[in-house]
């Protein structure tokens, strides 16, 4: 684990290439035949980018995505062409589908699935069995897709709604969209299950994750954006796992806890500046998660 210097953060990038997209964390540049994706140290919570970054966070996200991409490409290919440096990759251009493909294997508290469950409601057309506790393992992994909102919150979708969206987006027949939807559901669940099995060997539980999928010009589906990182997934300590309560996680939970419990932030911009101790604790969590998952020194 690296020595943490809170001034050593990268929240802005500036290249001579054409800026293609600036997201909450990543800056993407157009190189003509490919895209260059740079993972910064910016951090967001509750859909708001915070004023100060987390040292080495971008490196962890980028290097974990690269590591997972090599292990899951036998299930579904991904967009990575090559790793440029610790926080940068060159990737293939793809037509990104307007769906967040969320796979859940555990009933994580605080999220939309948990809220629906405790209110006795189905979620994405799925009804879970009664009597589950916080953090219980589900009978089997479920796909709970959502919209990809540019502003505001994503909305859950039933699988038939996904097929309707893809049919309109791709200008294809409903039956073709249904076949594609089922294929992508299976691919996402299989990647999630592969990650779960691999992570448990390292003493980590993958509670849930989300994928983004794009299509190459020939129609081949590929995974795009980040893959199985602490920003796109919930990673819990297997050693400390105990259903019925919140779990120790390798992500930005210290940030969320401070914002809500200490700062009493109302989840509306502007967000308050994080104190040094929260920044340091979060950086350590990201680095520790990387080292435990990969077995590599960060």
- Those residues whose C-beta lies under 8 Å from the C-beta of residue 209, and which sit 6 or more positions away, are 102, 103, 192, 195, 228, 232, 233, 234
- Are 200 and 174 in the same domain? yes
- Are 123 and 70 in the same domain? no
Over the chain, what is the mean pLDDT? 95
Examine residue 116 and state whether it is found in any structural domain, yes or no. yes
In which band, very low, low, confident or very high, does the pLDDT at 78 lie, cut at 50, 70 and 90?
Answer: very high
CATH code (residue 280):
3.30.200.20
pLDDT digit string, tens, across residues 148-204: 876 667 899 999 999 999 999 999 999 999 999 999 999 999 999 999 999 999 999
Mean pLDDT of 45-55: 93
pLDDT digit string, tens, across residues 14-46: 888 899 999 999 999 999 999 999 999 999 998
- Are 289 and 164 in the same domain? no
- Are 199 and 69 in the same domain? no
Mean pLDDT of 244-252: 89
- Are 149 and 178 in the same domain? yes
Query: In Å, how far are 11, 212, 253, 282, 296 from 52, measured between CA atoms?
Result: 8, 26, 16, 12, 27
Percentage of residues in the chain with pLDDT exceeding 90? 88
Examine residue 108 and state whether it is found in any structural domain, yes or no. yes
Examine residue 243 and state whether it is found in any structural domain, yes or no. no
Least confident residue range of 126-135, 142-151, 199-208, 231-240: 142-151
- Are 84 and 152 in the same domain? no
pTM of the model: 0.94
Examine residue 164 and state whether it is found in any structural domain, yes or no. yes
Q: Is 148 exposed, middle or buried (0-12, 13-18, 19+ CB in 10 A)?
A: middle
CATH code (residue 104):
3.30.470.20
Domain coverage including residue 66: 18-93+256-264+276-294
For the chain, the domain total comes to 2
């Amino acid at each position: 684990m690296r020595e943490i210097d809170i001034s050593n953060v990268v929240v802005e990038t500036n290249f001579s290439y054409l800026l293609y997209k600036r997201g909450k964390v990543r800056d993407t540049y157009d190189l003509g035949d490919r895209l260059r994706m740079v993972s910064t140290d910016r951090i967001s919570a509750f859909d708001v980018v915070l004023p100060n970054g987390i040292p080495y966070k971008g490196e962890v996200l980028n290097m974990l995505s690269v590591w997972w991409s090599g292990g899951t490409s036998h299930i579904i290919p991904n967009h990575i062409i090559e790793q440029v440096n610790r926080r940068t990759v060159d990737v293939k251009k793809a037509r990104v589908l307007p769906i967040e493909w969320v796979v859940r294997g555990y009933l994580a508290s605080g999220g939309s699935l948990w809220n629906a469950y405790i209110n006795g409601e189905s979620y994405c057309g799925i009804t879970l069995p009664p009597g589950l506790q916080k953090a219980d393992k589900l009978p089997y992994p479920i796909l709970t897709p959502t919209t990809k909102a540019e502003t505001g919150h994503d909305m859950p979708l039933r699988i038939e709604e996904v097929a309707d969206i893809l049919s309109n987006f791709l200008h294809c027949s409903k039956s073709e969209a249904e076949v594609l939807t089922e294929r992508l559901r299976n691919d996402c669940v299989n990647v999630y299950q592969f990650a779960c099995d691999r992570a448990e060997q390292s003493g980590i539980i993958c509670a849930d994750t989300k994928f983004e999928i794009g299509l190459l010009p020939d129609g081949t589906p590929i995974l795009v954006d980040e893959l199985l990182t602490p920003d796109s997934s919930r990673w819990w300590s297997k050693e400390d796992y105990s259903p019925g309560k919140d779990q120790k996680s390798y992500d930005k939970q210290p940030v969320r806890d401070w914002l809500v419990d200490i700062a009493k932030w109302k989840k509306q911009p502007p967000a308050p500046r994080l104190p040094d101790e929260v920044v340091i604790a979060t950086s350590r969590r990201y680095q520790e998660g990387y080292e435990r998952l990969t077995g590599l020194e960060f």
